[in-house]
Structure 1
Amino acid sequence: MIGRTNTKFLAIILICLITAVFTVGCNKSKYSVKHPKVQIEMEDGGKMILELYPEYAPETVDNFITLAEEGFYDGLTFHRIIKGFMIQGGDPNGDGTGGSGKTIKGEFANNGFTKNKLSHTRGVISMARKSNDPNSATSQFFIMHGDAPYLDGDYAAFGKLIEGYDVLDKIANTPVDPNPSNPTELSVPKEEVRIKTVTVLEK
């Protein structure tokens, strides 16, 4: 009788452990797909599709998806364009000074977040922030037009373009004027480059 009781007890413990492990495994990501996908549609009809990597920057991905679903990015512009480097958008003020009002932790190596191994290569999307505050990112993002490995470890890269490189190139080739806050930088588009909508395709 004692032997049977012990066997039942051990079986119950084993079932509980298996259930716990399964539950923990399932809670690693809140998304039903490994890499959520978003689409940036421009007013001229151009479309860019990106896949996002919560395994590298979970809070950053959550923030971007939330803003997209709220319609925050709809109608905003790419206000800073540097051919061969990157295109930057997501500012409601349209000049690099605005944001969503909510800051997020900078998920990159030099801010103690070592699991973000995503490099700033062509097509990668990353969060803009104040240069003197690693935890100041809100809504502004940039998409790499060229490779910039010197940004690795200092900015939170969180996804990559999988479709629409022709649209990226078109935007990057927009004629630009000097930036009023940094006249040596040619980055202010002569004509508005406006986002129609940002849509979450899969999550």
Structure 2
Amino acid sequence: MARIKPQALLQQSKKKKAPRSISVAAIALYSVVTVVMVFFLYATYRHWSQRSIMQTEEGTSNFQVEDDILDSKKSDVPRYAIFNTSKGLITVELYNEGSPEIVDEFIDACQKGHFKGMLFQRVVKHFVIQGGDSENLAVIEDWTSREKHYNQLEKRLKHEAFMLGTSNTKHDKEAFDIFITTAPIPDLNAKLNVFGRVINGEDIVQEIEEVDTDEHYRPKSRIGIIDVTLKQTI
């Protein structure tokens, strides 16, 4: 039996332990798979990133649209009312923010022509002039009774003159009445919903206040409102 030389055995051992070489085709396949996976991950990331940005922009856009609508509605509400009376013009600044519901009712009544030809039914010197509901005497009678004890009233309860208001009692728009104070009125808010202030034409209010009246505070001559003009600016 022939003996195998030690060098030949060493060479055979090395051949068995040497790793198999990777083919070019396998390397190419692995490269393609890797590129596809990277592209898929990148495409997925980009898709969700763009979607998130679009949702954020859409939400911001909706908020902006809603804000623009609200601002537009606010800007569309008239800020002033000009009463053209048989004595002259009275300009009133409307309290859109302080009394929005009453102002809306007033504007609606103006647009329907409710105040055209309305008479001032009650005139109480140093108190109020009233236009509208001729049967609503509760407010007038209460204030005139207070006038007798005017000096005993607390000073802090007084309110400014030349304020525009309507009855505090619930009423239909068809019966919308108005009051313009001609002096500081005690406990005004308990009786009226104040929704404006005379800023021009105080002399006209005072002229109406000075007309002759009967024992029920009704003017002896006809004094009324010809029409009302609503304006954004004056």
Please state if 1:77 is matched with 2:116.
Answer: no
Note the alpha carbon deviations across 1:132-179, whole angstroms, 9 max, x for none: xx4236410111211225122553211111211111111112222222
Summarize the alignment of residues 29-48 of structure 1 with structure 2, pairs less than 5 Å apart: 30-33=73-76, 36-44=79-87, 46-48=88-90
The aligned residue for residue 155 of structure 1 is 192
Alpha-carbon distance in structure 2 between the residues aligned to 1:198 and 1:40: 5
Q: Does 1:62 align with 2:104?
A: yes
Length-normalised TM-score, structure 1: 0.70
Q: 1:190 aligns with which of 198, 220, 229?
A: 220
2:62 aligned counterpart, secondary structure: helix
- Where does residue 232 of structure 2 map in the other structure? 202
Whole-angstrom CA distance in 1 between matches of 2:47 and 2:95:
48
In the aligned structure 1, how far is the partner of 2:107 from the partner of 2:70?
A: 18
1:121 aligned onto 2:160: yes
CA–CA distance in 2 between the matches of 1:124 and 1:35? 18
Q: Which structure shows the bigger proportion of residues in strand conformation?
A: 1
> Matched residues in 1 for 2:94 and 2:54: separation?
40
Distance 1:65 1:5, change over 3 A: same
Aligned residues: 167
Distance 1:191 1:29, change over 3 A: farther
Q: Name the counterpart of 2:139.
A: none
Q: Distance in 1 between matches of 2:108 and 2:183?
A: 27
Does residue 1:51 correspond to 2:93, yes or no? yes
Aligned partner (choices 211, 215, 227) of residue 174 of structure 1:
211
Q: TM-score, normalised by structure 2?
A: 0.62
In the aligned structure 2, how far is the partner of 1:163 from the partner of 1:27? 30
Q: Distance in 2 between matches of 1:142 and 1:39?
A: 15
More helix by share: 2
Aligned partner (choices 126, 132, 142) of residue 90 of structure 1: 132
Q: Which runs of 5+ in 2 are unaligned?
A: 1-42, 137-157
Q: 2:59 aligns with which of 10, 14, 17?
A: 17
1:144 maps to 2:181: yes
- Relative to structure 1, the CA distance from residue 135 to residue 24 in structure 2 (aligned partners, 3 Å threshold; closer, same or farther) is farther
Cα RMSD over matched residues?
2.5
Larger radius of gyration: 2
* C-alpha separation in 2, matches of 1:28 and 1:135: 29
The gaps in structure 1 that reach 5 residues or longer are: 98-118, 180-186
Query: Structure 1 stretches (4+) deviating beyond 3 angstroms?
Result: none
What is the deviation of 1:15?
A: 2.1
